[in-house]
Amino acid sequence: MRTPAPGEAPARVGVVGAGTMGGGIAMSLANAGLEVVLVERDAQALERGWKTMQHNYAASVAKGRLSEEAMRERLGRIRPSLSLEDLGDAGLVIEAAFEDMAVKRDIFTKLDAICAPHAILASNTSRLDIDEIAGFTARPARVLGMHFFSPANVMRLLEVVRGKATSPETLGVAFALARRMGKLPVLVGVCDGFVGNRMVSPYTREAHFLLEEGASPRQVDGALERFGLAMGPLRMADMAGLDISWAFRKRTAPTRPRHLRYSRVADRLCEQGRFGQKTGAGFYRYEAGSRAPVPDPEVDALIEACAREDGIERQAISDETIVARTMYALVNEGARILEEGIASCASDIDVIYVHGYGFPAFRGGPLFYACEVGLPEVLASIRQFHARHGELWEPAPLLERLVREGKTFYDL
């Protein structure tokens, strides 16, 4: 198969992994009229992924969003396979396997040997080091991250992650493919979590701290949903699966500074097998067949126990405090990301948050919102949080500079 011209999407794309993300990516590619080779390591997993895709398409037909003929055409563009060798003629391969560097090493080493020299290799990783992954190959210039958001066949946002060796031509093909798929691509740099998930970490951290300090899951989510978010952080965690972030916390535990405050609430929930909606219990309880969150007294008791163990005196928390603590955590981290060059401009960060994380569009994104509030007021609040809660709230140098100079994030 010929090499795609600059800025042209490849005609055939491979996807490694038929799970939730891989299946959704395969559907997005097929919806765009592309040929897809979907590879899974065992027949049972492949069959499960194939049935899920059939179910999703059938649901669209039942709702009148898709015709029977179109469903058959799209499924016909996807070729299931149990062999990586079938990816030899793909112009681009997207890896969507388990979020573990050893797994990535195995897959990329094999793909590098199997795929044509011109083929581009992409990882759907949500936070692992793309430069390290590129190092598993002899083609680092043709390796990048393509972080889709779940469900990939629905969500428009795509973080295109540029490694230190990723060539402009490779980025051009990735952006062309994104546009062909109807996605909204945003270029980001390499760091733990890139832009979106890196900013989620302090946002979630504050939500968990607020629970220990006196708020309930329902109050935290309710305050932020009334602020305009599509879903509060605890409901969102239950939907995504608490075990996913738990695996990340366990992986990074050896390097976590021991002197910094750490909430064990989510860890304790996971230790009890409460992984969210998929297990019927997480921060909330879920009735069989329902996604509606039901407040659970057992979770309240667990939160209170964690607070006692850490010597935290619980008290009433206002909705205004919940919004300020979580939103300004986003803003402070966003300022660091801008200063480090992980994002090119403030609007890129805001686009990621509006289109990938349910941030209210009418507020313009976290950095635009901060500018509307006024950066001097935001910085004053962050300094108060810093004095009360310690170094996790150290103000970002860029934010301090902008306030001194009377500028905003959108003046950069």
Distance between CA atoms of residues 209 and 264, nearest Å: 10
Amino acid at 157: L
Peptide bond preceding 297 in cis form (omega within 30 of 0): no
Q: Where are the beta strands (DSSP E) in 120-191?
A: 120-123, 143-148, 157-161, 184-188
Please give the positions annotated as active site: 147
Tokens at residue 172, please? 């051009």
At residue 161, what are phi and psi to the nearest 5 degrees?
Answer: -100, 115
Amino acid at 276: G
Residue (of 190, 318, 201) closest to 262 by Cα position? 201
Tokens at residue 153, please? 């066949």
- Tell me whether residue 255 is exposed, middle or buried, using C-beta atoms within 10 angstroms of its C-beta: 0 to 12, 13 to 18, 19 or more: exposed
Q: Parallel, antiparallel, or unpaired: how do β-strands 12-16 and 92-95 relate?
A: parallel
Q: HSE of 343 in the Cβ direction (CA atoms, 13 Å)?
A: 29
Helix/strand/coil for 188: strand
Q: What's the distance, Cα to Cα, between the start and end of the chain in Å? A: 44
Q: Do you know the residue count of the chain?
A: 412
Distance between CA atoms of residues 102 and 112, nearest Å: 15
Distance between CA atoms of residues 363 and 370, nearest Å: 9
